Structure 1
Amino acid sequence: MKFILLLLCGQLAGLFAVAQMNGKWGDQGNGTYHNPVLPGDFSDLDAIRVGDDYYAISSTMQFSPGMAVLHSRDLIHWEIISHVVDDLTRISPNLNWDRMNCYGRGIWAGSIRYYQHKFWVYFGTPDDGFFMSSATDPAGPWEPVHQVWNIKGWDDCCSFCDDDGQLYFIATNFAMDPKNSKKYNIHLFKMSPDGKRLLMESDTIIHQSHGSEANKLYKFDGRYYHYFSEVKPEGRVIMMERSNSLYGPWEIRQLNHVDKASDREPNQGGLLQTPSGKWFFLTHHGSGDWEGRPASLLPVHWINGWPVIGEPDKDTIGHMVWSGVYPLPIQKPAATNEDLFNNHQLNARWEWNYQPRADKWSLTARRGYLRLYAFAPIPSNKPDNVILRAGNTLTQRSMRAQHNVVTVKIDISHMADGQYSGLTHFSTTSNSLFGIRQENGIRTLVYCTNGKDTTGMRIHGKAVWLRSFWGADGVSRYAYSTDGKSYQSFGEPFQLTWGSYRGDRTGIFNFNRRGDEGYVDVDWFKYDY
């Protein structure tokens, strides 16, 4: 009987968690919030508080601009305010529009810290090493990214400024370490005063365990805390070391339990203290689904000098929490989800797939429009994945909300033969394209999913309205309009997917298989969720 009751309790917990991940999220409007607070692909989080403001960063892989910076005043409502890396080619030529071969690579996890009157972001790529930038204003501009160390097989770094001003750097070597022939060694270095160089003679391994990464360094009440995660039989869990010295000896403790099926392994994140003294942990869920790795806000309970993350069990180890009361007075941002393209730069919500070709898009060629010039995709032996090799794809994160509607109005009057432009959903495992293709001077509605075309009516007008709508199940359906009022569904339903550590992206595509010819003008783009 006890076994049956435990089994039922586990099933109910799983169902509860599934309910939370299927539409209920964020501010509930009644003094409570539901996790996730960000039901989209906000992976590899770190977060800090400066004054009354909270800032977070999220990895972006091959998307440009890179390393998103988010801002909040209440820990529930977040908005992207900038990116740290404006030009991905400063990191690697493989992240440019003419290579496009770094899916699952590019900008991985990093850290954001505030010291010496500046914001400091450090991050790594698995192939190019570690980079940093700083800014006096987190909304930018950020200094041109600087390579700290050219190395392969390392990740998950964090900078730390001690009370005496000495700078430190911590990171994981997930490849084989020549020092002791083990994987996932966590190294500690001192840095030069400007934070741009590691002092290699100071290299010290402070920890090694299975899958140990997600490093953060803190100092609370004169004691050093090393946050990291590792893989145990139950899944990837949150760990913590503490010591009176950065060089140990360290006490070590597990901070949470996980159920991979129900809570999706919260781990990468940052500890935050509110002005009233309450503690929270902003984290991503490490097990991805079609929306990617969403972000949740968990309470932190200090027990015997350890920051236990989530709700403590009898063993004083935390577990996932799916709802709570407002941590702070609610302050919603004034941002709108509609883009009229009437500013001198793109809204920070937008990210190109790879570094874009600078001469093939413009916000000034026609005032109030985004002009996208078509050019040929990179040749590939997988024609069903053309979107993964086509430049000028401008994206936003697809959210796991109960109701999502994306609508775009495009002026197609200057298209050329061979050109295809419209609305897309894509990941590295599945994609769909819905828009207008021109051949022999005739423009036709075309829905393409994983290389299979469905052709519709001929489009005679100068403009077309395209729409995608989906729910918490991630099943997208497309529709079109020729007058902006009446919409007709078209094509089969499409299941959004996850791949290469990234969730689905929605956005605008434009390419021409025949060469550099033709363009479209995007009048506006609106995402309601």
Structure 2
Amino acid sequence: MKIRIFITLLFFTLLPFTVLGQQTGKWGDQGNGTYINPVIPADFSDLDAIRVGDDFYAISSTMQYSPGMAVLHSRDLVNWKIISHVVSDLTQISPDLNWNKMDSYGKGIWAGAIRYYKGKFWVYFGTPDDGFFMSTAENAAGPWTPLHQVWKVSGWDDCCPFCDDDGQLYFMATNFENDPKNNRKYNIHLFKMPPDGKSLLMESDSIIHQSPGSEANKLFKINGFYYHLFSEVKAEGRVLMMKRSKNILGPWETRQLNHVNKALDKEPNQGGLIQLTSGRWYFFTHHGTGDWEGRAASLLPVTWLDGWPVIGEPGKDSIGSMVWKAPKPINIPNIEKGKSANDDFNVQVLQPQWEWNYQPRADKWSLTEHKGCLRLHAFMPVNQTGGNILLKAGNMITQRSFRTASCEVTIKLDIRGMCNGGHAGLTHFSTAGTSCIGIKQFDSSRYLTYTSENKDSIGPAVKDNMVWLRSVWDFQGINRFFYSVDGKLFLPFGAKNQLTWGSYRGDRIGIFNFNTAQECGFVDIDFFRYKY
């Protein structure tokens, strides 16, 4: 099949994000055959994506959150749903990612790649301190095989496996700590792997690229050419680059694929290059610069020019720029658009939209002790001396905070099992700033409590066993908390807060329960309702 593909964008519109997003709050599937970027206005960082038959699959890094490495599914590249995670237990990577450590913010599971060959899905990823890992699955929804460490090493990231036409496996990754003088020269290496893909043949090591800040590696073979997609820091910012060669070891030609306008774009960066069954191509990517919502996900059309995939709208220089609105790649009537955020906790397994802050303490949460509820048992934080105590408190379960025109989360909390020293509630969570509304028990009484900047504001006593807590936030990330004692009348409590980005992560909405005095008490969450 010829590589030249002409994409006709019906009623194609290029508008700055300040018009499409900040004034209207529109995003994703518009219901009229078009979509607006971002297609997921939340923290789905370090994306990679592939097509298998008529389905699309993507992975997203999760750092210290567990389960790790989210797996998403779509049928049209616009509407996505989390279907599984590759890593069920983060302690398989490092004990530092367990509930009794909680000191690896900004670390943990970084970028990886997903591929499908030899009849199964393959996912590889790296951590900055522990090296590279892999897992496989016959079904992307799982189960995934036990995590296997490919190479124990530090100072490497952004890996990608590749299966050549003859079945030879390769592995590509960036060494970002190769210069003892810290000149930040990044070396991109290529290795061969044995047929099981579980180790590297070190004698095959080749450096195929070197520059300041080269990452986000992906390797493809298209029409007889090897294509190496990566990002690189240029004068205008971080841009997408590509090298191509008839030989996997080079020599390589190099082209820039997109421009950066940071005022509008937040530079498309890590992502997957995907060909549809129709022959058209797209790039599913995160935006490298994070705001309070994190690194959101966008979908860009790709136009092939002279054998190079130009990402976005091609300019006169044959380099692409950001596209904010376009026709959907595949228009499926009545396609499911929900992101499965709500939960009534009526099943015995956690739904895949949930991620704990660090590997949770297995004996301190349950979906079976109180049928129809998530029970969180309280235990003491790892460290209570100064700073944000929630950063050191286990048993926090989270979802991503969406950036839409308006958002609202409501939980119903049964607090009858609390004891002195207990603190449970609803939080907006980031290493750069945390606020929460909840219930504190001391002197055998329970009080509504608002916390911001690590300072508590104690409210009225709570006499009943049931309390409803709510957070409402807007497109700018300004949130306000509310409470109710009957589930009908909600009253504001506490000040307004600015949601924040920290340690490479966007804001999370979370539910927590800990005790600063003793290992005692529990709460039951009856439901979690998310409107956006």
TM-score, normalised relative to structure 2: 0.95
| Matches of 2:132 and 2:144, distance apart in 1 | 16
Deviation at 1:222, TM superposition (A): 1.2
SS in 1 for 2:487: coil
SS in 2 for 1:261: coil
Contact conserved, 2:178 with 2:185, CA < 8 A, in 1? yes
Among 124, 141, 148, the alignment partner of 2:126 is: 124
Q: Which residue type is aligned with residue 252 of structure 1?
A: T
Task: Please say if 1:456 is aligned against 2:459.
Answer: yes
Task: Please say if 1:482 is aligned against 2:481.
Answer: no
Among 322, 338, 345, the alignment partner of 1:341 is: 345
Which runs of no fewer than 5 residues in structure 1 stay unpaired?
1-12
Judging changes above 3 Å, is the alpha-carbon distance between structure 1 residues 182 and 403 closer, same or farther for their aligned structure 2 residues? closer
| Matches of 1:259 and 1:386, distance apart in 2 | 38
| Matches of 2:463 and 2:380, distance apart in 1 | 25
| Matches of 1:526 and 1:172, distance apart in 2 | 41
- 2:4 counterpart residue number: none
- 1:371 counterpart residue number: 375
Post-superposition CA distance 1:23-53 (Å, at most 9, x none): 1110111221100000000000000000000
Q: Which residue type is aligned with residue 456 of structure 1?
A: G
Judging changes above 3 Å, is the alpha-carbon distance between structure 1 residues 271 and 14 closer, same or farther for their aligned structure 2 residues? closer
| Matches of 1:251 and 1:336, distance apart in 2 | 44
- 1:71 counterpart residue number: 73
Post-superposition CA distance 1:420-469 (Å, at most 9, x none): 00000011100002110001111100000121111111111111000001
| Matches of 1:188 and 1:177, distance apart in 2 | 18
Post-superposition CA distance 1:291-338 (Å, at most 9, x none): 000000000000000000000000000000000011102322566432
SS in 2 for 1:329: coil
Task: Please say if 1:17 is aligned against 2:20.
Answer: no
Structure 1 stretch 453-462 or stretch 14-23: which is displaced more? 14-23
- 2:414 counterpart residue number: 411
Among 393, 396, 411, the alignment partner of 1:393 is: 396
Deviation at 1:181, TM superposition (A): 8.2
Contact conserved, 1:44 with 1:58, CA < 8 A, in 2? yes
Judging changes above 3 Å, is the alpha-carbon distance between structure 1 residues 179 and 507 closer, same or farther for their aligned structure 2 residues? closer
- 2:6 counterpart residue number: none
1:74-113 matched pairs, under 5 angstroms = 74-113=76-115
Contact conserved, 1:414 with 1:518, CA < 8 A, in 2? yes
Contact conserved, 2:14 with 2:325, CA < 8 A, in 1? no
Among 310, 327, 335, the alignment partner of 1:325 is: 327
Post-superposition CA distance 1:464-509 (Å, at most 9, x none): 0000011101000000000011100111001000011000000101
| Matches of 1:380 and 1:407, distance apart in 2 | 28
Post-superposition CA distance 1:80-107 (Å, at most 9, x none): 0000000000000000000001100000
1:159-178 matched pairs, under 5 angstroms = 159-177=161-179
| Matches of 2:425 and 2:90, distance apart in 1 | 25
Task: Please say if 1:350 is aligned against 2:354.
Answer: yes
Judging changes above 3 Å, is the alpha-carbon distance between structure 1 residues 415 and 191 closer, same or farther for their aligned structure 2 residues? same
- 1:136 counterpart residue number: 138
| Matches of 2:182 and 2:410, distance apart in 1 | 55
Deviation at 1:176, TM superposition (A): 1.9
Contact conserved, 1:96 with 1:354, CA < 8 A, in 2? yes
Structure 1 stretch 335-344 or stretch 519-528: which is displaced more? 335-344
Contact conserved, 2:163 with 2:169, CA < 8 A, in 1? yes
RMSD, aligned CA = 1.6
- 2:51 counterpart residue number: 49
Count of residue correspondences: 516
1:435-514 matched pairs, under 5 angstroms = 435-514=438-517
Contact conserved, 2:110 with 2:157, CA < 8 A, in 1? yes
| Matches of 1:301 and 1:221, distance apart in 2 | 16
Judging changes above 3 Å, is the alpha-carbon distance between structure 1 residues 38 and 335 closer, same or farther for their aligned structure 2 residues? closer
Post-superposition CA distance 1:370-423 (Å, at most 9, x none): 00000001114324x111100000000000000100000010001000100000
| Matches of 1:337 and 1:281, distance apart in 2 | 25
Which runs of no fewer than 5 residues in structure 2 stay unpaired?
1-12
Contact conserved, 2:46 with 2:61, CA < 8 A, in 1? yes
SS in 2 for 1:388: helix
Judging changes above 3 Å, is the alpha-carbon distance between structure 1 residues 483 and 350 closer, same or farther for their aligned structure 2 residues? same
Judging changes above 3 Å, is the alpha-carbon distance between structure 1 residues 435 and 302 closer, same or farther for their aligned structure 2 residues? same
**Structure with more helix by fraction:** 1
TM-score, normalised relative to structure 1: 0.96
SS in 2 for 1:491: coil
Deviation at 1:344, TM superposition (A): 1.3
| Matches of 1:46 and 1:334, distance apart in 2 | 21
Contact conserved, 1:55 with 1:70, CA < 8 A, in 2? yes
| Matches of 1:361 and 1:492, distance apart in 2 | 31
Q: Identity rate of aligned residues, in percent?
A: 65
